[in-house]
Amino acid sequence: MIIDAHVILRDNKHMEEVVDSARKNGIDKICTMSLGTPIPHWRDNPSPEEVRIGNNKTIRAMSDFPDEVIGFCYLNPLHRKSSLPELERCIKAGMQGIKLWVACKASDKKLHPIAKEAIRYDIPILQHAWNKVTGNRSGESTSEDVCILAERFPKLKIIAHHLTGAGYRGILEVKKYKNIFHNTSEDIQR
């Protein structure tokens, strides 16, 4: 089985194009998530309402393409009171993972409640983590941040995305952790 583990949903037309391309190219499943607001307006710290809107888009994509789309619930750990109920809603809708972007670093303790729930539900966290040579956003994780999260929660399954942003450094840093998996899609040297 071939899985594209990281497709950011823009809109329904975009999802139709992605699924069509996946079918033509032998890709069986597509892990899909939305970052709330449309490109190019993604916000580092989206509101609970923006997160919910994005997750509703993913739920619709799951409904429209049930054989292809695996939904990942987008959460903002900075909104603790809304994150866990939103995760529960998304799990009930059939989502099978969590997407975390740049609201806070993977090493931030604000992420702990979400990590604990991911372990409880036995679902992975797809963590944006980029070792940029140009510098990261204030809440953007690096491979080092992901390693800290993996050490704190050895039962947590983490899919780290963009790790080769600054060469192989990210891969070398996560290599020893059995609970970190590297997503190779869209790894661009920057």
Q: Give tens-digit pLDDT for 43-60.
A: 788 899 999 999 999 999
> Domain with 138 in it: what CATH number?
3.20.20.140
Name residue 126's beta-bridge partners: 99, 159
- Whether 190 is in a domain gets the answer no
- Whether 61 is in a domain gets the answer yes
**Closest-CA residue to 172 (of 142, 149, 152):** 142
- Whether 188 is in a domain gets the answer no
- Whether 131 is in a domain gets the answer yes
Higher pLDDT, 9 or 157: 157
pLDDT category of residue 190 using cuts at 50, 70 and 90 = very low
What is the four-CA torsion angle of 172, 173, 175, 177, rounded to 10 degrees?
180
State the pLDDT at residue 115: 99
- Whether 96 is in a domain gets the answer yes
How many independent structural domains does the chain possess? 1
Q: What percent of the chain has pLDDT over 90?
A: 63
Cβ atoms of residues 179 and 157 within 8 Å? yes
Cβ atoms of residues 126 and 118 within 8 Å? no
Predicted confidence (pLDDT) per residue in 10-21, tens digit: 877 788 999 999
Q: Can you give the length of the chain in residues?
A: 190
Predicted confidence (pLDDT) per residue in 67-126, tens digit: 999 999 999 999 999 999 999 999 999 999 999 988 999 999 999 999 999 999 999 999
Q: Can you give the pTM of this predicted structure?
A: 0.91
DSSP per-residue string spanning 144-184? HHHHHHHHH-TT--EEEESTTEEEEHHHHHHTT-TTEEEE-
Q: Which domain holds residue 48?
A: 3-183
- CA 101, chain centre distance (Å): 6
The CA distance from 7 to 19, in Å, is: 10
Using alpha carbons, list the distances in angstroms from residue 129 to 46, 72, 189: 18, 17, 13
- Whether 189 is in a domain gets the answer no
- Whether 42 is in a domain gets the answer yes
Interstrand relation of 3-8 and 125-128 (parallel, antiparallel or unpaired): unpaired
